[in-house]
Structure 1
Amino acid sequence: MDTIKNYLETLFLELPKTEAVEKAKADLLANMEDHYFSLIDEGKSEHEAIGAVISEFGSVDELRQTLEIEEEPEADFFEDEDELTLPIAEEEMLTFLAGRKQIALGLSLGIMFTILAVAAMILFSEVGETLGMSIFFIFVSIGVGLIIYYGMQFQKIDSPLHDRMISRNLVKKAQVLKGEYTKSFTIGLVLGICSCILSLVPLFIFSYAENLGAALLMAMISIGVFLICYSSIYYTGFDKFVESRFFVGDEDKLGPNARKEKYGNNAEKKYVIEKMYWPVIVVTYFIWSFVFGAWHISWVLLVAGGILWSGIEAVIKKV
């Protein structure tokens, strides 16, 4: 079902966010879901049903005609068509994803080394405490170095694409690549979670050697965390080309075009409201907690703040 919803979101990505369009999207999703379940009841497999549902519904051009919406030029959001405002090319997306994959590997290895540092310290401390601490600091140094270096690379690969338009064809290409990687992502996630869960087994198997059991536990956790982080960081890279019309980097700082797309009229003022909201909530939370000693109830403010923001966000997008 997520595939159908993602397809529909992409289909409506190029259409204006009006009340009529949103209603048409909701109606179309309901029809697609009904058709999907009817095909499942007929004995179709999940993939066959999804393929049939998607193929039987119209294109975005047909939706425009039905809703009587004129197509806007893709470059309307840009004042000057220089190399930093032109729509992102497929080659640029592939370069970004290749860089993202390398960053995912580097960061995951860094996290893995910091966890392995504990395993190495426990294991080699039996030989000598000095040796155990030395290996610990070596592993930590390698891990932290990798995390810092590859963490800085995010901005490097984001900058050339920042706030540039993602064309309809590029969205479709990104969806295909994401679909191809989904199986690997699922396998990596499952193996990573299993490794973390099964990390308790060495404690029972090597109950006669507690240090060895504890070291293996940390080693298995490091492997599990590596698999989860690597597959997740790379996988989320595809979403940057699927979920938004304009590219937004990992720092989540919306550019002028992305703000205009998200907020419409008076985008800058609405963006300021969003950026001020949570700092005010957090400051109020700490003042209430520290000054008035209301730790037992102040946490409610964070929960209420999240619920309230959903309503505020819906209002400022429509104004």
Structure 2
Amino acid sequence: MKRLNDHVDELFKEVPESEQKEAIKEEVIENLEEKVHDLMAQGKEEEDAINKAIVEFGDISDLRAELGVKPTNKKKSFKKENLWYSVWGAALIIALFLFTNFYYSPDTIWFVYPTFAILWWPLTMYFSYVRSK
């Protein structure tokens, strides 16, 4: 059953190669094949039996711990990207206010006031970035 083999290979892809890994993979495949045959004996179609066996098997987090593989934290932090986005965004908005100020009312300097409010955005992102390190 190629689909079971492919599924087990995908589950164990992050586990380093070893004899123990191969032995556990073979045992898992045998258990899944037995489950599929039992389900087919109960009247399930082969495809349904394979799907049900895979779903009921679940993940291999316990087996990974037994094999010495540390869990990977796949959550990526975007703190640095948020900081740069806020710096460039604030710079563009301030440039817009600066242009508007000097183009439409060059006698009155007013762009400074909204600049202070806009600078809070990158400042907040900077402190969030520093705190996360």
- TM (normalized to structure 2)? 0.49
- TM (normalized to structure 1)? 0.22
> Which structure would you say has the larger Rg?
2
Hey, which of these two has a bigger chunk of helix by percent?
1
Relative contact order: is structure 1 or structure 2 higher (C-alpha 8 Å, sep ≥ 6)?
Answer: 2
